[in-house]
Structure 1
Amino acid sequence: MMKTMDQTLGYLRETLSNYTEDHSEGRNLYKKLKEGAYTSEASFVRDLNQREIHFLNHMLPKEINYAKEEQDEKRAHELNEVFELLF
């Protein structure tokens, strides 16, 4: 049986899909997540370069705040899991 994508990475991929049109870094990260066989958010973060980390550091706080405003605590929590690993 194939392991399903980590739920946190699923939320991240969904969020990144909003950044694929106007941001080349967002497009690259979305593709990396879609094609990569990451078993956890930690394995994904370890595979990031400095530009990708910078992009996520800039994008994730806005997305976490938006999720909180929409009272989507699950999404806010999952995105925060990735954000915390960037440091």
Structure 2
Amino acid sequence: MDHTLGYLREALSNYEDDGRAQNLFKQLSNHHYENEKDFVETLESEEIQYLDSILETEIRYAKQAQDEKRLKELNEVQEQLFP
């Protein structure tokens, strides 16, 4: 799995009580995507909006934790949501 998608999958695992997040997690786990662009291209507009809200939270957390690698990887996904 692409490293960027690995960070996204890990972030989605933090939302185990949220069915929408778990659906995205399963989609990432059950399919082989070459990169984040390939994954995002499979999403519907509602899923994109939802994923964007999760990424905003996760990116904010990565900034606070000063986790530059996580921040970079999650930003790469978010950039693909609205090209």
TM-score by length of 1: 0.90
Q: Give the deviation of 1:20 after TM superposition.
A: 2.2
1:80 lines up with 2:58 in the alignment: no
* Equivalences, count: 82
Counterpart of 2:7 in structure 1 is 11
Map of 1:31-46 to 2, 5 A cutoff? 31-46=26-41
The aligned amino acid for 1:10 is G
Would the aligned equivalents of 1:20 and 1:30 in 2 still touch at CA under 8 Å?
no
Structure 2 counterpart of 1:30 = 25
- Structure 2: runs of 5+ lacking an equivalent: none
* Residue type at the aligned position of 1:16: L
Residue 52, structure 1, aligned to residue 47, structure 2: yes
Shift of 1:51: 1.8
Counting aligned pairs with the same residue, the percent is 54
Shift of 1:66: 0.3
Structure 1 alignment gaps of length 5 or more: none
With structure 2 as the length reference, what TM-score do the two structures score? Answer: 0.95
Distance 1:36 1:52 in 2: 17
Q: Which runs of 4+ in 1 moved over 6 A?
A: none
The aligned amino acid for 1:34 is S
Q: Tell which structure's C-alpha radius of gyration is larger.
A: 1
